[in-house]
Amino acid sequence: MQSASGSPDALRLASEPARGPQVVVLIVDDDPGVRSSLRRVLTANGNLCLEASTCMGALAAVASGTVGLVLLDVGLGDEDGLDVLRRLRAASQDVPVVVVSGDESVGVTARALSEGAHAFLTKPVRAADLRAHVLSALSQHESIRRVQSAHDVTRRQLAEVEAMLDRIPRQFTERLVLLSRFRDDETGSHVVRIGKYAEAMSRALRFDEARAQLVGLAATMHDIGKIAIPDSILRKPGKLTEDEFRIIKTHTTVGAQMLSGTDVPLLSLASKVALGHHERWDGAGYPDGRRGEETPIEARLVGIVDVYDALSHARVYKPSWPEADVLRHFEEQRGRQFDPSLVDVFLRCLPTLRGIREAIPEEPNRP
């Protein structure tokens, strides 16, 4: 049978009208007579047909995306049909292949099936057997396609849920921080900066991205316990008395209690940060007087950026410090108030921290 292009390897669409659901079947055989006989059976069964006589023609047809099934002869002149099968399966795992061969030896059959053939038919092929195997292959392919489609839908839905869950910690944190802002005018910009500082230093410490973001979120809740401190102490413009300082120190334990008791990683970490961000490297901090690495690294890190931000901005009880004085303080407190290794990280991150501080200015106090 001559193709429309005149080329013996041309791909062509059968001209016979289909009488059932149309599926494009690619017939790959170097014998035009065999292709013609297979084509007559398939078109009578409601299929459309393409033909190819070489490996390259077969691969080109499959690459077009129109083929629903391949009938493949094992003998393609000088080409190994099973090698063609391997290449077809590599090009598209979705298109089923039924091997047709005059060689019915166990070795050839086993090899064809091991290379991914759906079925193996022996020449001469009976029309009934051909129809049955084509129907079986197409039915199996459609079942697989439906399962894959359902899997794709489920995967998209899971991705949407994961994206929503990723937003929840940040939104939850923002709500908690907003609650504390009703008590403390200084909380707003300060906690945003603290979160950004802590995230930047976490990356400098080579925490993975998920952990760095978690530390940043947890850091924004470091002073959440101040919601329990009376306004007369929290907003006092002068120096605190000993009793007042004892009360304000309880914001660490109150914050830890507020955030503890769950299996949510963010809240668990935030609880540790709230409790330990006023501890000192030399053990002279509060609430528990922990020394060195007894305080979690995330809390030690937040303790550094908290002091940096507090000194760099005016508070009701003090003016802002020049950066040179802030840096002098850190050098003086290296190994005393602050973990020496984290001070080194802080100094390396200083350009980044300075940029964050300048990008997020203080909010004007509410009347």
CATH of residue 85's domain is 3.40.50.2300
The answer, yes or no, to whether residue 295 has pLDDT greater than 80, is yes
pTM over 0.75: no
* 125 & 262 share domain: no
Note whether residue 210 is domain-resident. Answer: yes
The answer, yes or no, to whether residue 323 has pLDDT greater than 80, is yes
Most confident range (mean pLDDT) of 135-149, 151-165, 227-241, 334-348 is 334-348
Domain end residue (candidates: 133, 152, 171)? 152
The band of 272, judged by pLDDT with boundaries at 50, 70 and 90, is very high
**Tokens read off for 355:** 């940029």
Measure the CA–CA gap between 28 and 295, rounded to whole angstroms.
72
Note whether residue 68 is domain-resident. Answer: yes
**Tokens read off for 320:** 């802002």
Q: Taking Cα atoms as reference points, which of 352, 322, 349 lies closest to residue 341?
A: 349
CB atoms within 10 A of CB 292: 13
Residue type, 29: D
* 212 & 343 share domain: yes
What sign results for the dihedral spanned by CA atoms 322, 323, 329, 331? negative
How high is the pLDDT of residue 177?
A: 64
Sheet (strand 119-122) strand order = 48-52, 24-28, 69-73, 97-101, 119-122
How high is the pLDDT of residue 191?
A: 83
Average pLDDT over residues 31-47: 85
Q: What integer best gives the mean pLDDT of the chain?
A: 81
* 136 & 206 share domain: no
The answer, yes or no, to whether residue 263 has pLDDT greater than 70, is yes
Can you give the CATH number for the domain in which 331 is found? Answer: 1.10.3210.10
* 132 & 199 share domain: no
* 335 & 239 share domain: yes
The band of 366, judged by pLDDT with boundaries at 50, 70 and 90, is very low
The band of 3, judged by pLDDT with boundaries at 50, 70 and 90, is very low
Q: Which residue has the higher pLDDT, 360 or 7?
A: 360
Domain end residue (candidates: 106, 136, 152)? 152
How high is the pLDDT of residue 200?
A: 97
First-residue to last-residue Cα distance in the chain: 92
CB atoms within 10 A of CB 352: 16
The answer, yes or no, to whether residue 187 has pLDDT greater than 60, is no
Residue 121, domain extent: 24-152
Note whether residue 17 is domain-resident. Answer: no
**pLDDT over 90, % of the chain:** 34
* 223 & 354 share domain: yes
* 55 & 124 share domain: yes
How high is the pLDDT of residue 251?
A: 94
How high is the pLDDT of residue 138?
A: 74
Split into its structural domains, the chain has a count of 2
* 130 & 186 share domain: no
Measure the CA–CA gap between 73 and 84, rounded to whole angstroms.
9
Task: Find the range with the poorest average confidence among 21-30, 207-216, 217-226, 241-250.
Answer: 21-30
**Tokens read off for 117:** 């053939």
Note whether residue 19 is domain-resident. Answer: no
* 189 & 148 share domain: no
